[in-house]
């Protein structure tokens, strides 16, 4: 059975799962289901969220669990994603947690504010949301001035997790907001690097991945 990913590429979490599969030189079928349907919740994800993953051996949910499984199952194929040294493996774990607990909540606040009023996001909410996010970006800037990727010299799942969120930010945020990235030299170079990868281009070239193309 080929790999199936359940979800849509409106979700950065589904994109991260797809990116991990492509980085390991595998293919997948994207399947859309109503994530709140009994069929989906009973068979794929009781929390009624996307993505879920299915292959001949397993059904999994939670994007980071999917990414880790794919990185391990296809070890030796495509790009190594778990780090080349004991230190990198540990720091990959660390930066995946940072992504979950410090990065994602703040960038999702920004996205929600923009989604509520795309033409003119509420500045009284957006401004503090951007400021809070910038404090976290300062920490990333310090890290990435010492290290090419988050875990060290090697590109890992920690970087994979971030790419779709910057893609969304690029599509959704106005020019003024974009400055918070362009003004941070090492963050900006890192975003450019991880967004230039052929696996990422393959994902964004998919005809079912049209939600965040800047017109």
Partner 1 sequence: MAIKIYGGAKSTCTGRVLITLFEKEVDYELVEIDLSKGEHKSPEFLKHQPFGQIPYVVHEGLELYESRAIARSVAEWYAKQGSALYGSTAHEKAQVEQWLEVEAQNYNPAISSLVFQLVFAPWFGKTTDEAVVAAQTAKLESVLDIYEKRLSEKKYLAGDFFSLADLSHITYSYYFIKIAGKGAIYDSRPHVKAWIDGIFARPSTQKWLKLAGFAQ
160 interacts with partner 1 by CB under 8 A: no
Distinct helix (H) and strand (E) counts, the chain: 10, 4
For partner 1, the binding residue among 27, 57, 119, 205 (CB under 8 A) is: 57
The contacts of residue 29 (CB under 8 Å, 6+ apart) are 2, 3, 4, 5
Structure tokens at 189: 């170079």
For partner 1, the binding residue among 32, 100, 145, 178 (CB under 8 A) is: 100
Helix 185-195 to helix 123-146 angle (10° resolution) is 90
Which one, 87 or 192, has the nearer CB to partner 1?
Answer: 87
Q: In the bound complex, what is the minimum distance in angstroms from residue 195's beta carbon to partner 1?
A: 24
Strand 52-54, strand 59-61: pairing: antiparallel
The span from the CA of 215 to the CA of 33, in Å, is 28
Which one, 91 or 126, has the nearer CB to partner 1?
Answer: 91
For partner 1, the binding residue among 94, 117, 178, 198 (CB under 8 A) is: 94
Q: In the bound complex, what is the minimum distance in angstroms from residue 208's beta carbon to partner 1?
A: 25
84 interacts with partner 1 by CB under 8 A: no
């Amino acid at each position: 059975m080929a790999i199936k990913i359940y979800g849509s590429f409106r979700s950065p979490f589904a994109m991260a799962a797809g990116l991990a599969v492509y980085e390991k030189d595998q293919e997948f079928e994207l399947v859309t289901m109503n994530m709140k349907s009994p069929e989906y919740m009973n068979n794929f994800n009781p929390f009624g969220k996307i993505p879920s993953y299915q292959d001949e051996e397993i059904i999994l949910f939670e994007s980071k669990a999917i990414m880790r499984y794919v990185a391990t199952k296809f070890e030796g194929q495509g790009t190594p994603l778990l780090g080349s040294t004991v230190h990198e493996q540990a720091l990959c774990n660390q930066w995946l947690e940072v992504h979950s607990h410090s990065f994602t909540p703040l960038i999702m606040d920004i996205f929600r504010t923009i989604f509520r009023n795309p033409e003119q996001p509420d500045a009284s909410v957006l401004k503090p949301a951007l400021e809070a996010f910038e404090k976290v970006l300062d920490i990333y800037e310090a890290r990435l001035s010492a290290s090419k990727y988050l875990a060290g010299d090697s590109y890992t799942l920690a970087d994979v997790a971030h790419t779709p969120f910057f893609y969304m930010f690029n599509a959704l945020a106005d020019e003024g907001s974009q400055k918070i990235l362009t003004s941070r030299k090492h963050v900006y170079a890192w975003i450019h690097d991880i967004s230039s990868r052929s696996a990422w281009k393959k994902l964004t070239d998919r005809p079912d991945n049209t939600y965040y193309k800047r017109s």
